[in-house]
Structure formats: C-alpha cells, structure tokens
Homo-oligomer: A and B are copies of this chain.
Amino acid sequence: MRREITGFSNPTVKYLRSLREKKYRKAAGKFLTEGLRLLTDARECGHVPEMLVMSAARDPHPLLDELEAAVDAAGGEIIETSPEILSKITGKDNPQGVVGLFAELDTSLASLDRSASPIWLVAQALRDPGNLGTMLRTGDAVGAGGLILIDDCADPFSVEAVRASMGAVFTQRIARASWDEFLPWLRSGKGQLVAASLRDAVPYRGAPYQAPCFILVGNESRGLPAEYELACDLRVTMPMRGRADSLNAAVAGAVLAYEVLDALEG
C-alpha cells in the first residue's frame, strides 16, 4: 500500500535526508540506494529495501513493479512523493525516480567465511568513497569474497560509495576492523596477505600467490604503514615506467586482483 508525502517538512523526509550524513547513517544503522538498476541488483541478491520512495514523475517499468511488490510482501513501506521532495532527500537536481532505504549490512569480521572465495580485497585507511565503491565493483568482477576495511576508511554505505560500487555493495561482503583486530583474525586460519610494495618485493607477475589471497591496498596519499607491509606474506611490485612511483589505490588493487585471479584459476 502506498503512502503519499506532500510536505517538505514531513519527518520521514527529514529522516531520509539526514542519511546523507555519515553520523546520522551510523546512528540509524540505515543507508540509501538510488535508482532502479541498483535496487534491482539488491533485490536479486536478496536485499529488499525497508522503505521505497518513488517519484510521482517516475517512468513506469516492470522491474519497478516487481520491486514494489517485493517491498510490500516483505512488510516494507512504500512512499510516493514529488520529484522536488525526492531531490531534497537525495540532494541531487535530477534524482533517479526511486530510492530505497536499507538496514546497514553486517560488517563484523567474525561473520566472514574466508573459504567462500580464493580472493579477498583489503583496504587500509581508504579515504575516497569513489575508490571504495570501485574496489567493491572490482571485487565482484574477480569473484572476490568481499572487502575488508582496515582502520579509518570512508563509509561503504555513503551514496557515493554505493553508486561507484554499481550494486556490488550488495554482492560483496564488507567487514570493518582495526589492524589489531584484522591481523589475529587473519592468522587464525589459512590466508596469504599480499601487498603492492617497493620494500623487499618480487615482481607481481608470476609471484607465488596462494588462496585464500588477501590483497592489501593502502591509503591514497600515504600508502601502507611500514609495519603493515612487513606483516605481509608477500610483497609485490608493479612496473612503474614513468615519473610516478604509485598508482591510484583502486587501480593498484584491480591490477593485482586480476593477476591473482589468473594465477589461482588461469
């Protein structure tokens, strides 16, 4: 059943709008996802929004009908509102015609099953939500199990990260942990920790990768702390033919992940 919201000062509008800010997302434990494509990806992965907000000016689409039916069947709320109010919620001039509200996914390290995949991505202090989303998307492409966020990373449930992930926020497991939590967890089972590094490293092509392989990428400006690099089982270098001595973090992770994929399954 649809509920209509016509007022800008409606408390639901204010609540949804507040979720653009990290502190309110964290307090509520909820996040927003925009657009029929991402929402359909989510549904096909078993994630149905708790609330669906549709613009009265949306284009009709059979997938939107299916989505609405799924939300209704799951006891979720369905709201119809004006394009202007949807703009207020998303903060965008031309919002996609539909937005979903989700409960944040479980990001505990303990809930990860490392045997579920031969490849895992690990990011340390990754600050850019676009890079974070791109790593999720790459993880999906290489069949990784998920992305483990070490130390103070960008929020994987921000609108920017969700958008850059192209739906992979729903297909990849996401865990958050400090280094001091991550390392003992890693060492409590099978797992090779690999970093792109200039320190005592071997060429990334043909390096002895082993599953499950955890590919560690460092902060965008500072790279990995030396201590973290030294804790790795394998340090690999990529050719750097130009002036720069590093790649974009998401790019470095992707080049390495495709190499590992080939080594383990090629």
Q: Is the CB of A142 within 8 A of B251?
A: no
Question: What CA separation (Å) do A151 and B250 show in the bound complex?
Answer: 26
Interface on chain A toward B: helix, strand, loop, or mixed SS? helix
Does A140 reach chain B (CB closer than 8 Å)? yes
Instruction: Tell me if A262 counts as interface (CB < 8 A to partner B).
Output: yes
Q: How many residues of A contact B (CB 8 A)?
A: 36
3 smallest A-B Cβ distances: which pairs?
A143-B241, A140-B242, A251-B254
- A166, CB-defined interface residue at 8 Å: yes
A171: B residues at CB distance < 8 A: 242-243
Interface residues of A (CB under 8 A from B): 41, 44-45, 130, 134, 137-143, 164, 166-168, 171, 205, 238-244, 246-248, 250-251, 254-255, 258, 261-262, 266
Contact of A248 among B138, B142, B167, B238 (CB under 8 A): B138
Q: When chains A and B are docked, how far (Å) is the Cα of A166 from the Cα of B247?
A: 9
